[in-house]
Structure 1
Amino acid sequence: MSGEQRAGRPEFRVWAVDGLPEVREGDDLAKLIAAAEPDLADGDVVLVTSKVVSKAEGRIMAAADREAAIDAETVRVVARRGTLRIVENRQGLVMAAAGVDASNTPAGTVLLLPEDPDASAHAIREGLRAALGVEVGVVVTDTFGRPWRNGLTDVGIGAAGVRVLDDLRGGTDAFGNPLSATVVALADELAAAGDLVKGKAAGRPVAVVRGLPHLVGDQDDASGARALVRSARDDMFRLGTSEAVREAVAQRRTVRAFTDEPVDAGAVRRAVAAAVTAPAPHHTTPWRFVLLESEESRVRLLDAMKDAWIADLRRDGKSEESIAKRVRRGDVLRDAPYLVVPCLVMEGSHHYGDARRDGAEREMFVVAMGAGVQNFLVALAGERLGSAWVSSTMFCRDVVREVLDLPESWDPMGAVAVGHPAGEPRARAERDAETFLTVR
């Protein structure tokens, strides 16, 4: 495209740089680019493929086994399918194979991504300023796949002197409609434009964009291209399917302190939907979940349970001090903004007429109930909700049934406090799965 503005029409020009030699460790990339493209001008954006940056910085690793190199660069596995791994690497980027590349490098070696792509971009920018006296922006690029989309494209993984994001939130569109979620990834758009002329196998690792000087300036803030990486808190798709299940199981904790933030009733219902997929005997559905969404219902239940519990403790001969201490342990239910009472029903169970077999039949249903409650707790963790399963309703089932107006056949199986955790959960003690195994 022409770099000239015709009749106010926005235009830019992009071209690949010819004449760059094979880059080797220790080469000064800025000097090589300046020699190959001496006519760089203020406001240009220089797009540099990360592969040549890695070569110049010596990020070449002898590796007969590429998988071992990927392991070394991986911080967290996001998703896995066969030998393909999507991971978070040491630079905080989520990508295939941690960015480890075995192409265009001698046999028996692999290329790792630049250790700090933003710092690499800054060094190239400073080098071009020193060599040519120009103020340019620099974007270090790499090839990414993208969720929901087939095919690859180049994106910006390092940047200096370039506005990487254009936050349009708070503005309006051409029709006056408010823009509430529009943040444009400028560095990625520039990287993709450069890739159109560089090509993947053409041996042209550098491109130049001219005609967009408003994107270039003294913007060497600390974030650089790191600003393009979505934080864990904001990432709705942080994990692959199987990894998400394992992560939710691992992250489930008993939470005993909650914030005042209201609980999304829809999230609880989604957790119930997960709960009732648990296995159960005889094709039955032995789970019922009573949702206490109003403060009035929670207080009424907990006050009645407290009275029953105190009466039991006094019959057991406990001191008033001991009773008060035990009652305080139940405050987690009172402090939670949402309560759920899981109940067991024995509909569809078999009756054999002898205590041994009938006892085993009930145990099967209790196990199914436990599976349902575990599904429920894990699903709540997946919704970023904390929970605490407390057994107290099992000790005063008649009281619970009366206060909540439940059928006689429903057996309350504890209560689950639900809410947003007031702090980070304590680390769980390490458990070696091998100590829980017996192999025959």
Structure 2
Amino acid sequence: MGGGSVGGQAGTVPSFRVWAVGGMPEVRDGDDLAKLIAAAEPGLADGDVLLVTSKIVSKAEGRIVEAADREAAIDAETVRVVARRGTLRIVENRQGLVMAAAGVDASNTPAGTVLLLPEDPDASARTIRDGLRDALGVEVGVVVTDTFGRPWRNGLTDVAIGAAGVRVLDDLRGGTDAHGHPLSATIVATADELASAGDLVKGKAEGLPVAVVRGLSHVVASDDGPGARALVRSAADDMFRLGTSEAVREAVTLRRTVREFSDEPVDPGAVRRAVAAAVTAPAPHHTTPWRFVLLESAGARTRLLDAMREAWIEDLRRDGKSEESIAKRVRRGDVLRNAPYLVVPCLVMDGSHTYGDERRDTAEREMFVVAAGAGVQNFLVALAGERLGSAWVSSTMFCRDVVREVLSLPSSWDPLGAVAVGHGVGVPRERGAREAEAFLTVR
């Protein structure tokens, strides 16, 4: 199999060959893969790349385990569920790979057993590379491959899960294309491309677990290199880290009350997206009982907080609190003053019914309050999903007239506290464990 350049330029046309290695025996626990490959493919030369299916690596390393229940084996290999649909699970496994069923394979293994991925695929590749150097005196690259599905694309392909002596990534950033345009984001996953090329000749059912690529010696490195681990995107850079339902659950879990914020500015667009999530909350009579006042300017925040502070102090003095106690309580409100962004959620009763009966009128208002609270919860969770910290503080509820006056709000808007928004400083404290059963009553 060969490959060529594009555009018909004069000169040597780049090409390579790829072929499957025949004559490989059934691999068993304890076998030396390098010796088996050396015996089957004596023609290996410096600069070749060897592509080895992970299944035979796992067999040689004794990764066949007793497992009457494959799901239990998947559980044991899983560190994080990315997405779930029915019995299918996409998970992050103990090797850091995100894939279906944690890479646990129940095919081509004895009944009652499953095959796990190599414990450390990069180390496995290094061992094979060293063994071939010792056996044949050649310097080759080694890629351990496995089959992956891909988001947004149908079908399976082989990718690199382990590598040694291969430049797994080709960073073209800083260069230019054929028309002189700068390349600012192009990083080629060379090891994955090699794995896919090998899969074309190995196949999925032909019993050919090893392939060789020749003619691409420029991708073979003198040292072992970083391995295929360098191909795994970090959590911070992964925009698609979770499936839909898992993302919602994680956002709920991530939501913490943050009381200390950095100076990093808040993206107003992120807050507006959170408001868009907030107003999807359920509400009575097809109403929209929420309004969100966004205090984006420092002047607006200062005017509101100064007026609220004076009202708060006056209330505390009427309660007979000492000046020392008042000062301490006022300092507790600094979470709002220190935040780079404030939001004042408000309740409106537009569309509510009046019954002329105190019991029913009270219940009607309570319905709207509950709906407004649901909107605020949606808002807080959506902020967490935007990686913004927040603190919902009830202070505006104790001086609603002051808030309405300072912010020029209609008299029918009832402030429901204030939400401090920003980028939290440090790692939030772990939330104390709460067992759901403690809050359940079943009839």
For the criterion TM > 0.5, the same-fold answer is yes
Give the one of 432, 435, 438 matched to 2:435.
432
Map of 1:103 onto structure 2: 107
Q: Displacement, 1:348?
A: 0.7
Map of 1:289 onto structure 2: 292
Q: Displacement, 1:2?
A: 5.5
State the distance in 1 between where 2:122 and 2:47 align: 19
Alignment of 1:29-178 (within 5 A): 29-178=33-182
Q: Displacement, 1:99?
A: 0.2
Task: Indicate if the aligned counterparts of 2:4 and 2:13 stay in contact, CA closer than 8 A.
Answer: no
Q: Secondary structure at the match of 1:115?
A: coil
Q: Secondary structure at the match of 1:361?
A: helix
State the distance in 1 between where 2:3 and 2:385 align: 50
Q: Displacement, 1:171?
A: 2.1
Residue 392, structure 1, aligned to residue 401, structure 2: no
Q: Displacement, 1:4?
A: 11
Task: Indicate if the aligned counterparts of 2:339 and 2:420 stay in contact, CA closer than 8 A.
Answer: yes
Task: Indicate if the aligned counterparts of 2:400 and 2:415 stay in contact, CA closer than 8 A.
Answer: yes
- Counterpart amino acid of 1:388? A
State the Cα deviation string for residues 75-129 of structure 1 (Å, max 9, x = none).
1111111111001101010000000001111121110000000000000000000
Q: Secondary structure at the match of 1:426?
A: coil
State the distance in 2 between where 1:399 and 1:4 align: 74
State the Cα deviation string for residues 159-196 of structure 1 (Å, max 9, x = none).
00001111122222222222222111111000000000
Q: TM-score with structure 1 length normalisation?
A: 0.98
State the Cα deviation string for residues 273-301 of structure 1 (Å, max 9, x = none).
11001011111100000011111111111
Map of 1:179 onto structure 2: 183
State the distance in 2 between where 1:9 and 1:259 align: 55
Q: TM-score with structure 2 length normalisation?
A: 0.97
Give 5+ residue unaligned stretches, structure 1.
Answer: none
Map of 1:307 onto structure 2: 310
Number of equivalenced pairs: 439
Give 5+ residue unaligned stretches, structure 2.
Answer: none
State the distance in 2 between where 1:3 and 1:250 align: 49
- Counterpart amino acid of 1:373? V
State the distance in 2 between where 1:260 and 1:294 align: 14
Map of 2:283 onto structure 1: 280
Task: Indicate if the aligned counterparts of 1:163 and 1:219 stay in contact, CA closer than 8 A.
Answer: no
State the Cα deviation string for residues 215-272 of structure 1 (Å, max 9, x = none).
1112424x31111111111111111111111111111000111111111111111110
Task: Indicate if the aligned counterparts of 1:248 and 1:382 stay in contact, CA closer than 8 A.
Answer: yes
Q: Secondary structure at the match of 1:403?
A: helix
State the distance in 2 between where 1:15 and 1:72 align: 36
Task: Indicate if the aligned counterparts of 1:18 and 1:204 stay in contact, CA closer than 8 A.
Answer: yes
Residue 268, structure 1, aligned to residue 268, structure 2: no
Map of 2:347 onto structure 1: 344
State the distance in 2 between where 1:64 and 1:260 align: 55
Task: Indicate if the aligned counterparts of 2:103 and 2:117 stay in contact, CA closer than 8 A.
Answer: yes
Alignment of 1:235-384 (within 5 A): 235-384=238-387
Bigger shift: 162-171 or 77-86?
162-171
Task: Indicate if the aligned counterparts of 1:198 and 1:207 stay in contact, CA closer than 8 A.
Answer: yes
State the distance in 1 between where 2:315 and 2:12 align: 84
Give the one of 22, 33, 41 matched to 1:18.
22
State the distance in 2 between where 1:56 and 1:301 align: 70
State the distance in 1 between where 2:410 and 2:237 align: 43
State the distance in 2 between where 1:354 and 1:3 align: 83
Q: Secondary structure at the match of 1:366?
A: helix
State the distance in 1 between where 2:257 and 2:77 align: 33
Determine what percentage of the aligned residue pairs are the same residue. Answer: 85
Q: Displacement, 1:64?
A: 1.5
- Counterpart amino acid of 1:195? D
Task: Indicate if the aligned counterparts of 2:64 and 2:116 stay in contact, CA closer than 8 A.
Answer: yes
